[in-house]
Structures are given as C-alpha cells and as structure tokens.
Amino acid sequence: MISNELFPVWTSFNYWIGGESESLAYSAFYTLLPMFAILPHSLSCLQEKKSTYANQILVRVGRRPYYLSKGIVCFFAAFITIVIPLILNFAVTSAYIPSTLPQINYEIYNHVYFGSMWADLFYTYPLLYVILYILLDGLFAGVIALFGYALSFYITNQFAAAAIPLLLFWGIDYLSGLLARAIPGTKWTYEISPIAYLHPATIRYDPNAFLIVIEATILFLLATIIIYKMGVRHE
C-alpha cells in the first residue's frame, strides 16, 4: 500500500454491502432477502382471514378493491423494506470511504467484470450503477412479496407461508450452482438465482438482463393470476 496505494480499489462502490463479497452482512442480507420482502405485508391477508376481519371489510368495500389494495401495499412495503437499508448503507459507507471512480484494470477487486450487466456504467457512472441496482432489488422484492401474498391463499400456516418462498429461492440458488456440472460438455455462464444476481458484485456467474426480466415476469404473472382467481373471482 505504500508503493501502490490502489486508490481505485479503496472506494465506497466496492465497500458498501452491494459491492463487497466477503462479510457476513452481505451474505445474510441477500440470502434472506425473500423473507425480508415477504414479512412486512404479504401475510396480512392470511392473518385477516384467520381472524375473520377480512369478512367485515369485504362486505363493505367489495373483493376487487380489497385484494387490489392489499397487492399494491404488499408490493411497495417490500420495495421500501429493501431499498431504504441499501440507500442508508451506501450513504454511511460513502461518509467514511471516498467515492473514487473504479478502474477496469482492478476488476478482480471490484467484482464487476468486463461484459457483465451494466459494467460500462460501473466504470463510467458508478453512482448510476448503484442506483439502478438498488431499484432492481426493490422492484424484485416487490414481485417476491406478491408471490408470497399469492401463496397465502393456499397455505394457512403463517410460518409455512413465509418459509416456502424462501426455501424456493434457496433451491433456485442451489440449482444455479449445479448447472455447470450437470450439463456435460458445456460451460454455464448465466446466473438464474435472484439471491445471486440481485447482488451488484458478480460472485458466480454474470447476471443476464433478459433472464432477470423473464423470471420477474413469470413470478408477477403467476402471483397476479392466483390473486385474481382466488381473491377477486373466488366465491
């Protein structure tokens, strides 16, 4: 450090929770992100149905406004729950560590490799890169919350309703790690695990924007169909 200070490495963009990949904090936050997204409001509909409070509201406002408002609040509650801690973490990190512009020749320390999703932004406008990833995490958390909300129509146990989506995403993360070895003669280079690709620093495979959109769309449509069928249209 005396002969080569490595100032482009000592930067808030790779020391905040979304940029580093060594501490327990980053691992715990992104591993438990599905649960953090579900807990704020996804299970409220299940709680209100079990307490018969939902029946009092349904006869007054109707099924469509009730379940629609639940879905909207569920989405934004999860969005805020994930986005605010990330913003605060980056702000506090930036208060102690300078926001030096990262350099591509130190990509091994930055964990954002040439050709990765939004890598050009990271090495030219790193703050925009951070903002986009925080928004992506918040939006995907909202979709996960809607999915958990939809599962609550089939699951009556609150613990199971919160645990099943978490176990599902853990299973996808495990599957993503097995793909390279499960397909002989090929090298799998695409990340399919939300737990992994929602973390701005590339740890395993390069995130792919197309796959992220596909997975988010499938989850959103599946959740919307279940909520409409079991909530709005259910008699």
196 located within any domain: yes
Domain assignment of residue 214, yes or no:
yes
How many folded domains does the chain comprise? 1
Domain annotation covers residue 193: yes
Dist CA 40 CA 203 (whole Å): 29
Question: Strand, helix or coil at 190?
Answer: strand
pTM over 0.95: no
What does the pLDDT look like over 63-97, one tens digit per residue? Answer: 788 888 888 988 999 999 999 999 999 999 999 88
Q: Distance between CA atoms of 149 and 45, rounded to whole angstroms?
A: 8
Residue 55: how many CA atoms within 13 Å on its side-chain side?
A: 5
Range of the domain at 60: 30-232
Q: Is residue 87 part of a domain?
A: yes
- CB hemisphere CA count around 224 (13 angstroms): 10
Q: pLDDT tens across 108-128, in order?
A: 777 888 778 888 888 899 999
